Amino acid sequence: MKNVFNVAQGLKTMMRTSRIPGFYNLSVAERLSRIVEYAGLTEEEARLLSKEGNLSLDIADKMVENVIGTMAYPFSVALNFLIDGKEYIVPMVIEETSVVAAASNAAKMTRAKGGIFTDATDPIMIGQVQLTEVTSPFTARMKILEHRDEILKLANEQDPVLVKFGGGARDVEVKVVDSPAGPMVITHLLVDVRDAMGANAVNTMCEAVAPLIERLTGGKVCLRIVSNLADKRLVRARATVAKEEVGGEEGVDAIVKAWAFAASDPYRAATHNKGILNGCIAVALATGQDHRAIEAGAHAYAARTGRYMPLSVWEKDENGDLAGTLEMPMAVGLVGGATKTHPVAKVAVKILGVKTATELARVMGAVGLAQNLAALRALALEGIQAGHMRLHARNIAIQAGATGDLIDRVAEQMVRERKIRFDRAQELVKEFTEKVA
Ligand code: MEV
């Protein structure tokens, strides 16, 4: 480390510029020394960046470009998850306090009614091929559809391994869209990506079929890329929470009302969904997923009707209990990407004990629902609990001999002090009465 620092000091005379040609070709230590110089980092600060934790600089350098160090985040586990009858301890990586405790508490609340139940579609990702410069787009659409089998065959030739494992291109959908740059013919390639997140496989297939689409239509293909609106790769989760867990029917009603707020106001829905993603993304980080893809998919799905909506629904069931459901895209993988390269992600997957990407997606949906429950409970019931406390304090004040205005004064003081006790009420009654006298 001393060397890095010395080199950096030696470079101090260099001009401060963000243009550093060949930066990516330097070693991690050399890059760091350039940044030490650029930002005037102390030796201690440089050491902090280059300190190797559970991700070696060597691996980090192979994962992304221009690496100068690594950064650690807390790795926690949420407990109490019973999902589809199976116990899960859920690894979560997050910087925000209370999220892990909230997930654990909410998961516990679901257990009395069997835990959280989930379901998922097949892991179908969508790849898009953008065709432009077509004079008769609707005829082009038909021609593409007529050659569906040929397109699928060509796509599947790109990934024999995926096909061997039961995946592959399954279908072709074509739409004509009106764009500011004129009409476009958009082909969707629907690909079962099995245990992969799938972006690479889908992109490769889209690139492979593009020339065929051009030949069939005489148009010009521009983009060939996966869509993060993974609405054919959905996860569903549902849970029932006994009313006693949320302060009785009054609590159930308050939570339903909190959800209804999100269902009618996108400003609230964004925060509501952020709470869901607190859970999903923490698991995504722990298991090395492309969490931006999950976030993009979640928000786009939330807005699919043209209006941004909550990803979950909370309602009261026939017993007066609280019933929650959630549906959202969940593009996650167990093969490829950081899940395979980050040593800690591998450990996280082992702790979680999931065997397929679909199982991981189902757990993440369950965690999202639990996280949402915890947030709504805290937000909606705090008011009620405070109200209950005040009522309780008034009763104690009356028991301690308070009458008239004194009841509220004694009660409020006890709530402020968080000492709602008979002996304290007696003291306060005495104190306030003496003051008046
Ligand atoms: C904070 O990270 C998440 C919440 O704001 C979610 C919500 O409001 O539902 C508590």
pLDDT score, position 5: 57
CA of 91 to the centre of ligand 1 (A): 20
| Contact present, 238 and 324 (Cβ < 8 Å) | yes
| Contact present, 287 and 91 (Cβ < 8 Å) | yes
CA of 381 to the centre of ligand 1 (A): 14
Q: What is the mean pLDDT of residues 151-163?
A: 98
> Computed from CA positions of residues 242, 248, 252, 258, in that sequence, does the dihedral angle turn out positive or negative?
negative
Q: Give, rounded to a whole angstrom, the gap between the first and last alpha carbons of the chain.
A: 75
Task: Give the DSSP per-residue string, 27-39.
Answer: -HHHHHHHHHHHH
Q: Name the residue type at position 187.
A: T
| Contact present, 166 and 193 (Cβ < 8 Å) | no
Q: Which protein residue's CA is at the shortest distance from atom 9 of ligand 1?
A: 272
pLDDT exceeds 60 at position 12 = no
Q: How far apart are CA 229 and CA 243, in angstroms?
A: 35
The atom of ligand 1 lying closest to the CA of 378 is 10
Q: Over the stretch 299-349, which tens digit does the pLDDT of each residue have? A: 999 999 999 999 999 999 999 999 999 999 999 999 988 988 999 999 999
The atom of ligand 1 lying closest to the CA of 275 is 6
Mutation pick for ligand 1 pocket among 255, 257, 278 (CB with most ligand atoms within 8 Å): 278
pLDDT exceeds 60 at position 73 = yes
pLDDT exceeds 80 at position 9 = no
Nearest to 315 by CA among 257, 393, 355: 257
pLDDT exceeds 70 at position 11 = no
Nearest to 277 by CA among 251, 250, 244, 302: 302
> Helix (H, G, I), strand (E, B), or coil: what is residue 159?
coil
Q: Convert 31-40 to b/e letters by CB count within 10 Å (16 or more is b).
A: bbbbbbbbee
Q: Over the stretch 262-288, which tens digit does the pLDDT of each residue have? A: 999 999 999 999 999 999 999 999 999
pLDDT score, position 147: 98
Could you tell me the pLDDT band of residue 3, with boundaries at 50, 70 and 90?
low
Among 25-39, 88-102, 165-179, 407-421, the least confident range:
407-421
Active site residue 149: no
Active site residue 295: no
DSSP secondary structure letter of residue 402: -
Q: Which protein residue's CA is at the shortest distance from atom 10 of ligand 1?
A: 375
Residues with CB under 6 A from ligand 1: 96, 271-272, 274-275, 278, 375, 379
CA of 273 to the centre of ligand 1 (A): 8
pLDDT score, position 13: 45
Query: Domains, the chain, ranges and CATH?
Result: 2-63 (no CATH), 75-121+234-382 (3.90.770.10), 124-226 (3.30.70.420), 387-436 (1.10.8)
Mutation pick for ligand 1 pocket among 97, 255, 272 (CB with most ligand atoms within 8 Å): 272
Q: Over the stretch 201-227, which tens digit does the pLDDT of each residue have? A: 999 999 999 999 999 999 999 999 999
Mutation pick for ligand 1 pocket among 379, 381, 382 (CB with most ligand atoms within 8 Å): 379
- For residue 25, give Cα distances in angstroms to 3, 55, 382: 19, 21, 55
| Contact present, 256 and 262 (Cβ < 8 Å) | no
Q: What is the mean pLDDT of residues 146-163?
A: 98
Which has more pLDDT, 4 or 188? Answer: 188
| Contact present, 65 and 22 (Cβ < 8 Å) | no
CA of 366 to the centre of ligand 1 (A): 17
293 is written with which tokens?
A: 């893809």
- Percent of the chain topping pLDDT 90: 90
Active site residue 274: yes
Residue 141 burial by CB count (10 A; 0-12/13-18/19+): exposed, middle or buried? buried
pLDDT score, position 383: 66
pLDDT score, position 363: 98
CA of 79 to the centre of ligand 1 (A): 20
- 301-307: long-range contacts, CB 8 A cutoff, minimum separation 24: 301/229, 301/231, 301/328, 301/329, 302/269, 302/273, 302/328, 304/229, 304/231, 307/266
